Amino acid sequence: MTPSAADGSVARGRSRRNFAGARPVMDDVARLAGVSKQTVSRVLNDHPAVRPATRQAVVDAMRTLGYRPSRSARSLASGRTRMLGVISFDAARYGPASILTAINTAAQEAGYLVSSIALDTADHDTVVEAVNRLSAEGADGVIAIAPQLWVGRALAETDLATPLVVLESPLDDGTPLVTGDSRTGARKATEHLLALGHRTVWHIAGPTGWTSADHRLTSWRETLRSAGAEVPAPLVGDWSAGSGYELGREVARRAEVTAVFVSNDQMALGVLHALHEAGRAVPGDISVVGYDDIPEAAHFLPPLTTVRTDFAEIGTRSLRLLLNRIDGANEPWPSGTLVPVDLVVRASSGPAARRVR
């Protein structure tokens, strides 16, 4: 049966709100608030020209109706997709995973969706393909978690038209960079052990070519030289507890070692395991300091002294910086943002043992 004009459905058009179970739409909000659909759109996009009373009326109407703006509606209103892209590497590790979680949380609070691409390899073609994919999806901006130097170089060679923020590796082209202060963290760890009376500090480094590992290695070496201490040859791991265990066995065989700074907590866990097996007491014989302060670090045996990195702050700050670039691309932006770190002293570090000559 064709609807008649008597019920108003032909003359006025039927609101979807009249259909049982249908989701309310922007027209319904405008009708209940007594404003135009354009005004509702302005409120959704936080336009400054809307009067406070009008804005509140629209917000109240959305709450009453249970209206949630769709991504497509916001896109049409603002010319944006309200989608951000994230490229990550080695996403299973605690640091990158924590950063990604923080980015997702901050993006959701800002009304954005996140399209994440986790790459197993960091070769040039794979990075370029990921950038092109996010561009094709219409990402309003991209955050790249680029822990390796060659990832930064690959990103620098891509033709990304949208705003970009990089974590860890600088691109040397003015692209904003957000990273933990690895140099200061390594200095604090090394100075802590020297202050406990250790003549020198050995170092188990992360893999070569990783920006954070290289910065920690350089800062450890510079700190020892500034203190006039001997600089031992570094031992290089691959971030895993297994590599820390193998290198820890080597450390345990060296009677002259009294202090070790390890470039991440997972490798430090392996070191503690190896020292325990070898009968080397921690910290009685050898003090151990890690890096990152993973949640389990306080429960190692003994609890691990480590450098705390605020990964959540890195993710949140990078998201905030990206949104600022999207909203005001003509403003000057800092080329680098260092997130402070803290030394957390626990039971794995102690005074150098007095040795009988």
Tell me if 283 sits within 8 A of 255, measured CB to CB. no
The pLDDT value recorded for residue 255 is 95
Q: Position of tokens 């620098």?
A: 156
Flag whether pLDDT at 328 surpasses 90: no
Fold match, 83-180+311-338 / 182-309: yes
The structural domains of the chain, with segments of one domain joined by +, span: 83-180+311-338, 182-309
What average pLDDT does the segment 58-63 reach? 88
In degrees to the nearest 10, what's the CA dihedral of 346, 287, 99, 323?
A: 90
* pLDDT tens-digit series, residues 12-54: 333 334 434 567 888 888 999 999 887 887 787 667 778 889 9
Select from 313, 290, 293, 337 the least CA-distant residue to 179.
Answer: 337
Per-residue confidence at 184, pLDDT binned at 50, 70, 90? very high
**Which runs of E-coded beta strand occur in the chain?**
83-89, 113-119, 141-146, 164-168, 177-180, 202-205, 235-236, 259-262, 287-292, 305-309, 337-339, 341-344
DSSP 237: -
- Least confident segment among 61-65, 233-237, 268-272: 61-65
Confidence (pTM): 0.76
Those residues whose C-beta lies under 8 Å from the C-beta of residue 185, and which sit 6 or more positions away, are 216, 219, 291, 307, 309, 341, 343
- Which stretch, 3-12, 13-22, 56-65, 263-272, has highest mean pLDDT? 263-272
The CATH architecture of the domain made up of 182-309 is 3-Layer(aba) Sandwich (3.40)
Q: Please give the structure tokens belonging to residue 23.
A: 């989701």
- Class of the CATH-defined domain 83-180+311-338: alpha beta
Burial of 22 (0-12, 13-18, 19+ CB in 10 A): exposed
HSE, side-chain direction, 13 A CA sphere, residue 8: 4
- Least confident segment among 165-169, 170-174, 273-277, 314-318: 170-174
